[in-house]
Structure formats: structure tokens, C-alpha cells
Amino acid sequence: MKIIIVLAMMFYFFSSIGFWIYVFTKKENGKKFGFGFFGLGFLTQLVYIGIKDIQTGSFAFANERDILFLLSTFIAMVFYGFALYKKQLRDFGAIYAPIIVFLIALSLPTYSVESQAYDNIWFYLHIIFSLLSYAFIIALAVVSTIFILTERDLKRKKLNSFFVTKFLSSLQTLKDLEYKLLITVFISLSLALIASSIWSSVYLGKHWIWDSKQIYLSLMWLLYGIVLQLFIVKREQGKKISYFVMLISYFGLIAYWFTKHSIS
């Protein structure tokens, strides 16, 4: 049964890639690819639920892990409802698919390994994607700050200011770069959290630990997801969004430098 869960997670992961490609390139093939794998993931979830119900002879979703799997299935159903209501809302797949991947990862069976806890692929992937996230967050903070300062000086008609003279011609480029960095940060944070969940399951026998950095990562992931939704769905691209992005980014950097892991 575990292989079915993993298969569903992989289908949704490929779906995320397709939707992200569409968000970056606006090519319809990316959306079709993402929506197709989303359908395969949803079908796999239904197969898992059906097999489990037949095996137990009842609606077998009483424990915590199974509830998370069922929740991810309902989220997929909600997305399909949106997609059938309006095809434009399929853009939501860039947000929904990673959320479902994360929930399915949390529903994986737990294992306890006492030796070599830090010597496994999931720990290394968590570290790599976390550091990549912070690297992209630094870049995002810089780009948002420059955009805000340049637009501020333009509004005040300070045409000889450093930011106007250096960045006026690339103002739209800065906004486009901010958008793409925001997507990249959301992707890398999603992957870092998924790897963290699987690793903590292997090391501690549970998917969630109240570790301070894990909490901050999750909070940033949620906030960036909200901003990304505003970008994609409402097409909000003004200075208010840049302020929001900048504040989240600086908050993330402060959290990185001044918080420590609760486990060693």
C-alpha cells in the first residue's frame, strides 16, 4: 500500500512541475502537463482509498496519517471544482499541487532508525533545499527593496537619485524578476519542508516536530503562498506586493540567523 501513496505523491510532484513551468513561461503545454498528472494523482488516491476500504470492510480513515491523506484528496476535489467552474482557475494548480504533495508526504508510514540519522538522502535534501531557499530569499529581498526605493524616488521626482539613474530602465525587469524569484522560493521551501517531514519521520518516528526553524519555514511558505496567489490570480503587481514580499523576506533572514534547531 505504501507504493500507492508514493506513486500519488510523485504524480502530484510532476503536476507541480508542469504548473510551475506554465507560471514561468505562460505556455499552455505546461498547464496541460500539470493538469494531466494532477488527474493521475487524484485517480491514484481514489484507488488507495478504495483498496483500503475493501481490506478493512469499512471507511478506514480513523488515524492521524490517514486523515491527512483524505484531506489531501478533498483538496484535490476542491481544485477540480474550481477548474470545472472556470478554466482560468487551473492556474491554482501551482499552489494546490505542492500543498497536496506536502500532505501526502506527511501521511507516509513512519519508521524509526536509531543509527546514522543524519546520514540519509532526506536529511541532505532538506539541508540543500533550505539553503537554496535562503539564497533565493536574499535575492528576493534585494530585488524588492531596489524596486520599492526606485519607485519611491520616481514618485518624488528625484530623477538624479542613485536608484532612478541605475534602475529606471529596468524597473519592469525588476518586477518580473521579483515574480520569478517568488515562485522559486515557494518551490524550494516546499521541497525543503517535504524532505524535512520525511527525514523527521525516519529519525523521530513522526512527521512534525515543534522545531523553531521548521515552524518559521512553514510560516514563510504559507505567507509566500498567499503572495503568490495574489500575483497569479488577482494579477497584483504593485508596490504593496513588493512591500509584503520584502517584509516576509527580511523576517525569514532574521529567523535564520537568530533561531536554532530544537534538536541536535
Number of alpha carbons in the 13 Å side-chain half-sphere of residue 38: 31
Q: Which residues of 99-110 are buried (b: 16+ CB within 10 A; e: fewer)?
A: bbbbbbbbbbee
pLDDT of residue 41: 92
Report DSSP letters for 150-169, one per residue: HHHHHHTT-TTSHHHHHHGG
Query: Whole-model pTM?
Result: 0.59
Secondary structure element (H or E) that encloses residue 138, with its range: helix 121-155
Mean pLDDT of 53-58: 72
- 17-31 per-position pLDDT tens digit: 888 888 777 788 888
pLDDT of residue 237: 58
CA-atom Rg of the chain in angstroms: 21
Distance CA 259, CA 237 (A): 32
For 262, the grid coordinates are: 530544537
Distance CA 198, CA 5 (A): 13
Helix (H, G, I), strand (E, B) or coil at 63: coil
DSSP letter at 114 equals: -
pLDDT of residue 180: 83
Contact residues for 95 (Cβ-Cβ < 8 A; gap 6+)? 225, 228, 229, 232
The segment with the largest mean pLDDT, out of 81-85, 95-99, 154-158, 239-243, is: 95-99
pLDDT of residue 238: 64
Amino acid (1-letter code) at residue 42: F
Domain positions in the chain are 1-109, 114-264
- 172-214 per-position pLDDT tens digit: 777 788 888 888 888 888 888 888 877 777 666 665 666 777 7
Distance CA 14, CA 11 (A): 5
Q: What percent of the chain has pLDDT over 90?
A: 4
